[in-house]
Amino acid sequence: MKALVYHGPNHKSWEEVPDPKIVNPTDVIVQVDTTTICGSDLHILKGDVPTVTDGRILGHEGVGTITEVGSAVGKLVVGDRVIISCITSCGSCSYCDQQLFSHCLNNGWIIGHLIDGTQAEYVRIPFAESSLHKLPAGLSDEAAVMLSDILPTGFEIGVRNGRVKPGDVVAVVGSGPVGLSAMMTAGLYGASRIIAIDLDENRLTQARTFGATDSVNSGSAGWMDELMAMTDGLGVDVAIEAVGIPQTFGMATEIVRPGGTVANVGVHGTSVELKLQDLWIKDIAITTGLVSTSTTPMLLKLVAQGKLTPEKFASHRFTFDAIMDAYDTFSRAAETKALKVIITR
C-alpha cells in the first residue's frame, strides 16, 4: 500500500510500504476512506516530537471501512464504517475506568506517533472495540473526521475543563481548528458571549461562523481595552488557550476575571512562566489536559441531529496521491486560508 512516511525532521514521502497486519487479537485493519492533517503532524515534521522515529506513518484522524478483524473482536465486523479516534484505549485499565482514555496504561495517543497512522491506504487499530466509533447512517465523512481529534479536543479540554456555565463570557485565544471547535461547542453549556482572539483577520472572520459572537485582533495595541469593554471591565469567566505559546498562555491568565477558569488546550514545546506572584490572589483555576475522546459518542449524536456542523471545517480537498500538496496547503494556512484539508482515497 501507499502511505505518508516520516523520515526525520523536514523529510516525508508518499511511498510504497508493507500492508498492516493484525498483531493482537483485539486489532482490526481499516481501509482509510478519509483522513486529514493536524497541527501536530506539522510539529512532528519539524522534529518537535522526538518520540516519532524515522519510518513512521503519520496521521491520527480518519474515517474508514473495516477490512479485517482480530479473533477477539466481536462487536465490529468487516464492512463496518468507523471513525478512528486519535486516542486508542484498552477500555479496562484504571484510567480507562475513569474515562481518561488519553492516559490509558496500554495505549493513549499512539497512532501516527508510536505506531503507524492513518495517512495511509490501510491502518491497524489496536483495541478496536474500545477505540473505534461506528459511523451513524447519513453522516458525511467530512463531518465525521472532525470527531477524530479537533471537536472533542475543543470541547473536553477547552469548554468542559473550563467549566463553562449558562451566562458565562468565554474568550478563546487562538482561532485555529481547535479554538474554533471550542467556540462551536461553548454554546452547548450556555455561554452568553464567545469572544474569538487571533492575529489573523481571516481566522477571526471565520470564527463568526463557528459560534463566536465577538472577535478581537490581539495584534492591535488596544486589544485588551477592547476585550474588557465586552466584559463589563472585569474580564472573562473562562479563558481558553488554544495556541500553545508562552505569550498566549499569559494573555489567558490576564483576561480571566477573579473566580474564573483558564483552560489550557495548547501543546507547549517550551517552558512557560506561571506568574503566581500576580495570580495567587485571583481565585482562578487553571486546567490542563490531553483529549480523551470520551465525549465522541455524545458529540456524534449532536452532529447526527444537525445541532453541530463540523463539516464546515473542510476547506480544501485532495486525493491520497496529492497528499504532498495537501501538506503544502495546510502548512501555509495563513496564505491559503486552510482550516482542515480533506484527503480521500
Rule CB under 6 A: which residues touch ligand NAD?
39-40, 149, 153, 157, 173-179, 197-200, 203, 218, 242-244, 247-248, 265-267, 289-291
Tell the smallest beta-carbon distance from residue 265 to ligand NAD (Å).
5
4 binds Zn ion (CB under 5 A): no
Contact of 220 with 197, CB cutoff 8 Å: no
96 binds Zn ion (CB under 5 A): yes
For the beta carbon of residue 241, count every other beta carbon within 10 angstroms: 31
Tell the smallest beta-carbon distance from residue 292 to ligand NAD (Å).
8
Among 90, 110, 262, 326, binds Zn ion (CB under 5 A): 90
Which among 89-97, 115-123, 171-179, 215-223 is the span making contact with Zn ion, rule CB under 5 A?
Answer: 89-97
Round to whole Å and give the CA distance between 27 and 71: 8
For the beta carbon of residue 64, count every other beta carbon within 10 angstroms: 28
93 binds Zn ion (CB under 5 A): yes
- Please name the residue ranges forming H helices in the chain: 39-46, 94-97, 128-131, 141-144, 150-153, 177-186, 201-207, 223-229, 246-255, 276-279, 296-304, 323-331, 333-336
Nearest to 170 by CA among 199, 337, 299, 181: 181
Cα→Cα distances 27→84, 90, 129, 253, Å: 13, 11, 8, 43
Q: Which is nearer to ligand NAD, 175 or 294 (CB)?
A: 175
Q: Which is nearer to ligand NAD, 200 or 325 (CB)?
A: 200
DSSP letters of 114-183?
TB--SSBSEEEESSHHHHEEEPPTT--HHHHGGGTTHHHHIIIIIIITTT--TT-EEEEE--SHHHHHHH
Tell the smallest beta-carbon distance from residue 107 to Zn ion (Å).
6
Tell the smallest beta-carbon distance from residue 209 to Zn ion (Å).
37
Phi, psi of 33 (to 5 degrees): -90, -40
Q: Pick one of Zn ion, ligand NAD, none as the site partner of residue 285 (Cβ within 5 to 8 A by kind).
A: none
Q: Which is nearer to Zn ion, 26 or 181 (CB)?
A: 26
Round to whole Å and give the CA distance between 216 and 201: 9
Which among 102-110, 116-124, 175-183, 257-265 is the span making contact with Zn ion, rule CB under 5 A?
Answer: 102-110
Q: Pick one of ligand NAD, Zn ion, none as the site partner of residue 93 (Cβ within 5 to 8 A by kind).
A: Zn ion
Q: Pick one of ligand NAD, Zn ion, none as the site partner of residue 200 (Cβ within 5 to 8 A by kind).
A: ligand NAD
Round to whole Å and give the CA distance between 145 and 61: 6
| Amino acid making up residue 273 | E
Q: Pick one of ligand NAD, Zn ion, none as the site partner of residue 164 (Cβ within 5 to 8 A by kind).
A: none
Query: What residues between 249 and 288 interact with Zn ion by CB under 5 A?
Result: none
Helix 39-46 to helix 323-331 angle (10° resolution) is 90
Round to whole Å and give the CA distance between 210 and 134: 26
Q: Pick one of ligand NAD, Zn ion, none as the site partner of residue 183 (Cβ within 5 to 8 A by kind).
A: none
Among 37, 104, 110, 120, binds Zn ion (CB under 5 A): 104
Q: Which is nearer to ligand NAD, 13 or 288 (CB)?
A: 288
| Amino acid making up residue 5 | V
Tell the smallest beta-carbon distance from residue 23 to ligand NAD (Å).
26
Tell the smallest beta-carbon distance from residue 50 to ligand NAD (Å).
16
Q: Pick one of ligand NAD, Zn ion, none as the site partner of residue 104 (Cβ within 5 to 8 A by kind).
A: Zn ion
Round to whole Å and give the CA distance between 210 and 184: 5
Residues that bind Zn ion (CB under 5 A): 89-90, 93, 96, 104
